[in-house]
Structure 1
Amino acid sequence: MLKKLSLLCTALALAGCAATTATSTGTATIKRDTYGVPHVYANDVRGLFHGYGYVVAEDRLFQMEMARRAVLGTVSEVMGPNYVALDKGSRSAFTPDSIKAQMARLPPDEKAIFDGYAAGFNARVKEVLAAKGTLMPKQFIDAAFEPKADWTGYDVAMIWVGTMANRYSNASSEIANLRLLNQLQKAKGDALGRELFDQIRWIEDPLAPTTVPRSGGQRQAAALPANGSAKGDDPLARLVPVSPELLASRSDVDAASRGVAEPWQRPIASNLWITGPKKTSDGSTVLINGPQFNWFNPSYVFAVGLHGAGYDVTGNTPFAHPVILFGTNGKIAWGATAGPLDVNDMYQEKLNASNRYEYLFNGAMRPMGKRTEIIKVKGQADQSLDVYSTVHGIVTDFDLPNNTAFSMKRSWDGHELESLLGWIHSMQAKNWDQWLAQASRVAITINWYYADADGNIGYVSPGRLPIRPASQDVRLPAIGDGSMEWQGIRPFKEDPQVFNPAQGYIANWNNQSAPGAVSDGGNYAAADRVNEFITRLEAKPRLTRDELWAINRSTAYADTNARYFVPFIVEATRGLPATDPAHRAAQILAAWNMENDDPTEQGAYQSPATTIMMAWLPIIYKQLLADDLPPEVFAAYSNGGYAGATQVASIRPGNGSKLLYNALLGPKAGVPQRYDFFNGADKNAMIRSTLAQAVSELTAQYGSDTARWRTPVTRHVFLTSNFIGAPQANADELLTLPSYMNRGSQNDKVVFSAGSVSMCTAAPPGQSGFVAPDGRKAAHYSDQMALFKDFGCKSESLTPAEVDRNLESTKQLAY
């Protein structure tokens, strides 16, 4: 490895770059720019990451302390009994011994990444403890506990495991899908219920947009599995129904982490678009990324530059991971969105009737593995948690009324640090092949994107894809008795990927990655929000840089339902008299730019079309679906998909919109419409009647003047608890902007042009979350809010000269 670092130093010609041992000592230089972004310079890996850990603790000490506690399950130790459930969920989502064993196997130069970061973090904590009156973040004082200088490399790794791997690769919808099938069959009978299930939870819609163009996909479209083998065996018949108690009283986060998430509850967020030289007016290559993690104070992402020891990279990364997820090294640029691959399976285990902790496997009852976690609770006695496991993985749920349990098998178990190191070393890549080689190390599911100075663009969705038996229905749990075991892992070349697609661009908004790439929770459809990007990218043969950046604004306010239904509404009302209320409403919709915005900040969306669409959708959902779906199933499809009083992280077409659009397409739909939701009625008549009902209700609410049909805006909120639910700032630090924007938690743009590279970013609220003991906030606490609100971005300093031109401070740090 030291030889590799020396070669990298030579190739990069980095000032001061040297390959030294992990135990060397020296001085790191920290330079901050006028937005407070730190650039760390050091001669060896340990020193570089020591500086990184130090600046993180300067800017985000309380946020990172609570992130560590959230992923390790120690929040209730300092925050009390209200967080015991959160801690139990975290403790049962990973196996500590596995992560520690992976850490122990690291070579010294890679271990130095984690240990150096931890040492730098601890160095800053010691400074804070020595000067509490000025340096202790106020949040610690208010919560009545202090940070400890006890971070280890394990803690650094676990921040990534808990906030990236476990957040985006640990979900499954298989149990929820089985429950849905049970509900439909109970209501409609076995055959009709199964038919309806296939129409609601299809395997693949060939009309669904894919990031790897359908003409260039490596894999064939997936088909429904056979219901029985040649011997007449139907695996579905061996699945025990799910008891209602199993899915009761679960929060979305808990459901996603414990394997019972509905598709719309799974953590799916982030968008990206890249254009190559043939798609831009000036021949440049432009990468724009908007990872959507929800919005938080402090910012979900941390900005940093790392320079030396084989690294020369600038960008942003969530929770200050020891890798920059959105950035550039001057030769290439990269980004990411949530991954779509099916890397998990739930296994339904048959339990011993006389011992719930024994399960059937390969013809014999086996004892479950067990570990006991002790959870310290502030002001109360310790609590214990028993975590059980089978040969398939951690037991997520006991369904005792049915004498079954569910365990989650994850293809990436034991490969967490290998995945992270692939990501870390991808920052050193100089071309597609080097970058792709690091992607091949990644076991979790994630979408990776690439652009370089030579005008190349690319995409890969890495992850360890299991080879499943042909009899397994990927939508449903597998049988845990040994008859449905994986048969290996697919080679990396079968992961979705494309390099320089003929269309000249790559776009993603968590849509299907490639033809045939399906999962238990994707339900990818022709009605997909990524079409907001595709439509705008296809509008002109070439686009300017400004036009490409402007897509960010228009898609942030785009009504993700409108483009699918306005044409049907216009057609259905075409023959109505001009005075007919439904016809007038249709004309308002036809003239609409299909954006929900409030440009003059009056507190209401600008167009009455917004109000009409939001009112009409729930009405037609009910008219179309309520008589065909059990009430508990219909309830899940009744939401229009808009940000309401309770802001959601990322909006998309409503839960019922996919079913409605397919029904309207009829025989032209990609998903066969064997079950007629219209029940023989004319679709145009239903559109007219439901639109008339919406107009009637709006008239009663607002009056006959349609200009007064203005829906109040949803404000854009920056939450003070992290996505796991642990506080990361005081409640009075909640920040807002006037209007909700469906865009990245941060946005970055990298442009390669004529031998040069530039990058600009916006990552609100600001670089620092520090609040002094007396309540004063750091200078860079919220100085990116206005930038974000106005769709601006700040230029990043990518070279030493640029850093020095924008210099705010310099610090020397011994390590």
Structure 2
Amino acid sequence: MTRKVQLLIAVLFLGAVIYVYSIPLGSLPPVGNFFHPIKGFWGNAETRELNGSITLNLDGLQEPVEIYFDERRVPHIFAKNDHDLYFAQGYIVARDRLFQMELQAYDAGGRLAEIIGPAMLNRDRNTRRWGMPYGAEKAIEVIKKDEQMWATLNAYSDGVNAYIEGLSPAKYPLEYKILNLAPEEWKPLKTALLLKNMTRTLAAGNSDNQTSNTQKYFGKQFIDKWFTTKPELNDPIIPPTREWNFQADIPLAPDSLFVPTLANALSPFEQAEGVGSNNWAVSGEKTQSGNPILANDPHLELTLPSIWYEVQLHAPGINTYGATLQGAPGVIIGFNENVAWGVTNVSADVMDWYEIQFRDESKQEYRHDGRWKETNFRIEEIKVRGRETVIDTVVYTHHGPVTEVRSSFTEGSEPVYHAQRWIAHDGSNDLKAFYGLNRAENYDDYVEALKHFDAPAQNFVFASNEGDIALWVNGKFPKKWEFQGRTVSDGTDPDYDWQGWIPRDHVPHIKNPERGFVSSANQESAAPDYPYYLDDDFAPFERGRRINDLLDRMENITVEDIQQMQLDTYSYYGEVLLPSLLEWVETDSLNSREMEIYNLLTEWNYHMDAEMIAPSVFRSWRGQFYQSIFLDEYESTPATLRYPARDRFAEVIKNEPDWPFIDDVETDMVETRSYQATNSFKTAISELTDEYGDFGDNWKWGFVIDNDINHMAFIPGMGEQDLFSSGSSEAINATRGTHGPSWRMVVEVGPEVRGYGVYPGGQSGNPGSASYTDFLEPWRTGELFELQFLSEKPQLSDKFPLKVTLE
């Protein structure tokens, strides 16, 4: 072959490569563009240290703003007015987390298919049918009436857009290049969507349909046994010593309660085990310094970038530090010179499902209160990348949007329709609560701020430099008769409608209790003598009781003691259940290896530590044992049923050796508790062997815990997998799988406030930045950084290497 021919072939091949690399592949960008040395992903690599002074000229500011970045890249924003403060916050957060902000807003608005493609269509459809955009629009209507908060939201949006407008395609965040997208304008509605998305994350759990099915299938006594009766070890958030000095106005229940037919409702947004949080505050009477100490660690899905972003905001009337949500102005969890606050989720029943009777197939009218009422139709246009737009019509009753469900038993049966009454559909101005908390000086300011927070209901813990500690189970709670909404409600009967709201001063709260501390861990809100019904489905008692046990016996408490408490891995469930399981095992049926593992469990101290093997065995064994009791009965029906909580299960199974469910209905023999314990123990060992190999170090809990921190869009290579971690969903350190402490914070509130914190990730959302994961290892090992809370502007130094001036 001549040199000319070789050259011609090379040129043709190069031309083909250039052509292929220049066309998009589905939702992906042209490969050539992605690998372009300037416009492609190479442009996202950070190759220089951020230090010195930079001045940026931006339209929209009223006066100059100075931003000092500390050695961990946390911005400390010094502004001369509120507008510029929130403008700068929007600008800086967008600089570090723009794609994260936008992706969350796309998700909350039911628009993921628009940027990703058909794979996200069902999620988008469910988001629209659950009324997420509808609820955000209602929130904007309320916020617009508050001149202060509307100005705050617009200033923040203007700051985000100022960053977007100055962004060239070459500097688009990496994910935009992967998806071949451009950022779009940020509007206040997107912030409202993000806040409603938190309501979906924290207040979308419901079991109405499952409880109805369970009652229909197993009877009312089963419901009372497993869901009405609470474990003896329950330790509520507001202790029993709290007296209620008000007359409760509780609606009357209907004479006969509605029990619908067995059907399976749509539940597309399930909450994973371990979603919860801890917070507590101890009085100065119990601390070494004499100052109150507050701690908070919200347990959420762990992602890269993190759900949180650290910031300090300083302007006339405000100096606050803490964790903020990308896309929302202000600090959500944090402190100022005078007070500190933190949140955990309240398991309040603020979502009810109503069985609807339509007049005919047109769904234009539905039956309620003895007459036919008109429905409303909301047309949802769902854009799908690479496909035609999908039109979805959602029917609304006065309860809310309607979802179609099907009978579990009859093929081709008539559909059943459920309408959703959900707190997320109500207009609210929740950001005003944080606006007030950021500026609070004392307990009265804290209480005033909380009046503006409706949903998702949160346990707001509080401490001040005046020595006060407090906790409010705070939110907007529907006034209900006992167990209203536990099962699917009768949509034709007005007695099942929400009957107003629990008065604010009647919600559970406590200030400066005699025991010297307040705490919450998503457990029961109050003791049984609290007159209002909030829910029957709270977190198991384990974390809450462990926190209270520790605080009750601790004295001369230091910040370091509280930091160690946050890392506590003790399993109360192990203490309650394991000794009985070991007692029930028929040891003469175990082989030598099984006996070795059995003996290992007898010596376990109930701590879920990474280096231990016993937690792995217990976790697997307890799951197998639970399934051996319930699975045969629960799988005998295609209907979705509600499973009992593990803490109540441990209590019943220990006290009732002849409970009928212990026997496996699918076999001829009569299984005993000992048989089930022994068989499930063997099964657990087989399960671990299949998954992790022969018994040995690879069974250590740090491997089995399966602690993964994925990229928020699940882009491969941008997350961190298999972190060797301690903790468990039932421990204070509630690390488990992809969920865990998303922000650990400890604050001592005194003459000089001292704060400490960490989250798993880093300030930058850019995978090409050294600041993308630089907090990850300290978080894994339990280290907390001292938070640099400034009362005045610093000098450039090693601690504050970068100053950015916005003009």
Which bracket does the TM-score occupy, shorter chain normalised?
Answer: 0.7 to 0.9
Among 129, 141, 148, the alignment partner of 1:101 is 141
| CA-CA distance at 1:56 after TM superposition | 0.7
- Matching residue's letter, 1:544: T
Work out the CA distance in 1 between the residues paired with 2:281 and 2:461: 8
Q: Determine whether 1:811 maps to 2:804.
A: yes
Is residue 448 of structure 2 the alignment partner of residue 422 of structure 1?
no
Partner SS, residue 756 of structure 1: coil
Task: State the superposition RMSD in angstroms.
Answer: 3.7
Pair 1:779–1:801, CA change in 2 (3 A): farther
What's the counterpart of residue 180 of structure 2? Answer: 144
TM-score (normalizing by structure 2): 0.80
* Structure 2 CA distance for partners of 1:305 and 1:657, relative to 1, 3 Å: same
> What is the aligned partner in structure 2 of residue 115 from structure 1?
154
Report deviation, 1:277: 1.7
Deviation at 1:367, TM superposition (A): 2.5
Q: Is the Cα contact below 8 Å between 1:209 and 1:526 reproduced in 2? A: no
The 3 A distance-change label for structure 1 pair 447 and 427 is: same
State the distance in 1 between where 2:190 and 2:620 align. Answer: 48
CA contact (8 A) 1:573 1:583 kept: no
Question: How many residues are aligned here?
Answer: 711
Deviations 1:665-690, CA, capped at 9 Å, x for gaps: 45xxxxxx99665589xxxx956544
Give the one of 299, 314, 330 matched to 1:292. Answer: 299
The one-letter code of the counterpart of 1:105 is K
Q: CA offsets, 1:125-180, max 9 Å, x none?
A: 11213xx33x22121111101113x2122222322222x23332344321222122
2:484 and 2:496 in contact (8 A); partners too: no
Q: Which deviates more from structure 2 when the two are superposed, residues 707-716 or residues 401-410?
A: 707-716
Aligned partner of residue 58 in structure 1, secondary structure = helix
- The Cα shift of 1:304 comes to 0.8
What pairs with 1:377-396 in structure 2 (closer than 5 Å)? 377-396=384-403
Q: How big is the shift at 1:447?
A: 1.6
Q: What's the secondary structure of 1:483's corresponding residue?
A: helix
Among residues 184, 187, 199, which one is paired with 2:225 in the alignment?
199
Query: Partners in 2 of 1:709 and 1:796 — Cα distance?
Result: 37
Q: Classify 1:125/1:626 alpha carbon distance in 2 versus 1 (closer, same or farther; 3 Å).
A: closer
Q: Deviations over 1:417-469 (max 9, x none)?
A: 2x221232222111111111111222211221101112221111112222225
**One-letter amino acid of the counterpart of residue 504, structure 1:** G
Residue 585 (structure 1) shift: 6.1
Query: Percent identity at matched positions?
Result: 20
Q: What runs of 5+ residues in structure 2 fail to find an aligned partner?
A: 1-59, 408-412, 665-670, 728-734
User: 2: distance between equivalents of 1:696 and 1:61?
Assistant: 50
The CA deviation at 1:759 is 0.6
Task: Compute the displacement of 1:281 (Å).
Answer: 3.4
Distance in 1 between residues matched to 2:527 and 2:763, nearest whole Å: 40
Q: CA deviation at 1:370?
A: 0.8
Worse-matched range after superposition: 625-634 or 111-120:
625-634
Distance 1:136 1:179 in 2: 50
The one-letter amino acid paired with 2:625 is I
In structure 2, relative to structure 1, the CA distance for the partners of 1:354 and 1:266 (3 Å cut) is: farther
SS in 2 for 1:550: helix
Is contact 1:357-1:367 (8 Å) kept?
A: yes
Computing the radius of gyration from Cα coordinates, the structure with the larger value is 2
Match of 1:91 in 2: 128
2: distance between equivalents of 1:540 and 1:576? 44
3-state secondary structure, aligned to 1:384:
strand
Tell me what 1:616 maps to.
Answer: 621
Deviations 1:716-760 (A, max 9, x none): 211213xxxxx2x7322011322364141121111124x221111
Superposition pairs for residues 690-729 of structure 1, below 5 Å? Answer: 690-693=676-679, 696=682, 710-711=699-700, 712-721=703-712, 727=713
User: How far apart, CA to CA, are the structure 2 residues paired with 1:205 and 1:54?
Assistant: 50
Q: Deviations over 1:291-338 (max 9, x none)?
A: 111110001101111111422100002335223121001100000111
| Alignment match, 1:748 | 745
Paired residue for 1:734?
719
Question: Alpha-carbon deviation of 1:267?
Answer: 8.7
Q: Summarize deviations over 1:340-383 as a string: whole Å, max 9, x none.
A: 22233222222224443421012122231111121222111111
Q: Helix, strand or coil: the match of 1:370?
A: strand
SS at match of 1:663: helix
Match of residue 164 from structure 2: 125
The one-letter code of the counterpart of 2:76 is H
Indicate conservation of the 8 Å contact 1:31/1:809, yes or no: yes
SS of the equivalent of 2:238 reads: coil
Whichever residue aligns with residue 748 of structure 1, its letter is M
Give the match's secondary structure for 2:120: helix
1:526-675 correspondence runs (5 A): 527-555=541-569, 558-559=570-571, 561-569=573-581, 588-599=600-611, 606-607=612-613, 609-626=614-631, 629-631=634-636, 655-665=645-655
Greater Cα shift, 628-637 or 358-367 = 628-637
- Report if aligned partners of 1:451, 1:457 keep a CA contact under 8 Å in 2: yes
Matched residue, 2:442 = 431
Which residue of the other structure, out of 240, 258, 271, is the alignment partner of 1:214?
240
Letter aligned with residue 769 of structure 1: G
For the pair 1:169 / 2:159, whether they are aligned, the reply is no
TM-score, reference length from structure 1: 0.79
Q: Corresponding residue for 1:644?
A: none
Q: Could you tell me how far 1:697 is from its partner in structure 2?
A: 5.2
Q: Give distance in 2, aligned partners of 1:309 and 1:396.
A: 49
> CA separation in 2, counterparts of 1:679 and 1:77?
51
Report the CA distance shift for 1:690/1:322 in structure 2 as closer, same or farther (over 3 A): same
State the one-letter code of the partner of 2:477. Answer: L
Q: Does 1:55 align with 2:92?
A: yes
Matches of 1:50 and 1:709, distance apart in 2: 51
Separation in structure 2 between the aligned mates of residue 634 and residue 383 of structure 1, nearest angstrom: 30
- Counterparts of 1:60 and 1:383, CA distance in 2: 30
Distance 1:524 1:72, change over 3 A: closer
Alpha-carbon contact 1:412-1:443 (below 8 Å) kept: no
Q: Deviations over 1:201-222 (max 9, x none)?
A: 22655642211112216399x9
Q: Distance in 2 between matches of 1:152 and 1:255?
A: 26
Whether the aligned pair in 2 keeps the contact of 1:207 and 1:525 (CA below 8 Å) is no
CA distance in 2, matches of 1:341, 1:660: 24
- 2:31 corresponds to which residue? none
CA distance in 2, matches of 1:36, 1:811: 12
Partner of 1:733, secondary structure, is coil
Alpha-carbon separation, structure 2, partners of 1:70 and 1:115: 21
Letter in 1 for 2:81: D
Counterpart of 1:807 in structure 2: which amino acid? F
d(CA) in 2 for partners of 1:28 and 1:686?
72
Distance, in Å, in 2 between the alignment partners of 1:169 and 1:577 is: 47
User: Residue 709 and residue 297 in structure 1: after superposition, are their counterparts in 2 closer, same or farther (change >3 A)?
Assistant: closer
Would the aligned equivalents of 1:449 and 1:458 in 2 still touch at CA under 8 Å? yes
Structure 1: unaligned runs, 5 residues or longer: 1-22, 185-192, 257-263, 600-605, 639-653, 667-672, 722-726, 772-776
Q: Deviations over 1:486-537 (max 9, x none)?
A: 3321111111111112222222221112124787865347753323323333
CA deviation after TM superposition for structure 1 residue 27, in Å = 1.7
CA contact (8 A) 2:87 2:157 kept: yes
- Determine helix, strand or coil for the equivalent of 1:313: strand
Amino acid at match of 1:87: D
- Which stretch has the larger CA shift, 35-44 or 344-353? 344-353
Corresponding position of 1:506: 518
**Inter-partner Cα distance in structure 2 for 1:561 and 1:243:** 33
3-state DSSP of counterpart to 2:461: strand
Partner of 1:798: 789
CA distance in 2, matches of 1:514, 1:591: 36
Contact 2:310 2:763 in 1 (8 A): yes
Partner of 1:234: 256
